[in-house]
Amino acid sequence: MKKNGRIINMPKSPLKIFKDALAASYNNHIDELGTKENPNCISRSSSKLTFNDAWNLIEPYKPHFVCMWREDSYFGDYDHWEFGACNIAENGYGSVFIFINVKPEDAEKIFEKYKLKKEYY
* Predicted pLDDT at 59: 97
Residue 23 falls in which region: left (phi positive, over 0), alpha (psi -120 to 50) or beta: alpha
What would the pLDDT profile of 36-55 be if each residue is shown by its tens digit?
Answer: 888 877 889 999 999 999 99
> Residue 102 in contact with residue 79, Cβ under 8 Å?
no
Q: Distance between CA 77 and CA 75 in Å, rounded? A: 5
* Predicted pLDDT at 74: 61
Q: Is the pLDDT of residue 1 over 60?
A: no
Task: Determine what percent of the chain falls in helix, strand and coil, rounding each to the nearest 5.
Answer: 25, 30, 40
What would the pLDDT profile of 5-26 be if each residue is shown by its tens digit?
Answer: 999 999 999 999 999 999 999 9
Overall residue count recorded for the chain in this entry: 121
Q: Read off the pTM.
A: 0.92
* Domain residue ranges of the chain, discontinuous segments joined by +: 24-120
* β strands within the chain, DSSP E: 5-7, 27-33, 45-46, 63-70, 80-87, 95-102, 118-120
* Predicted pLDDT at 99: 97
Per-residue DSSP letter, 24? H
Q: Distance between CA 24 and CA 100 in Å, rounded? A: 9
Q: Distance between CA 85 and CA 11 in Å, rounded? A: 12
What would the pLDDT profile of 54-82 be if each residue is shown by its tens digit?
Answer: 999 999 999 999 999 988 766 667 789 99
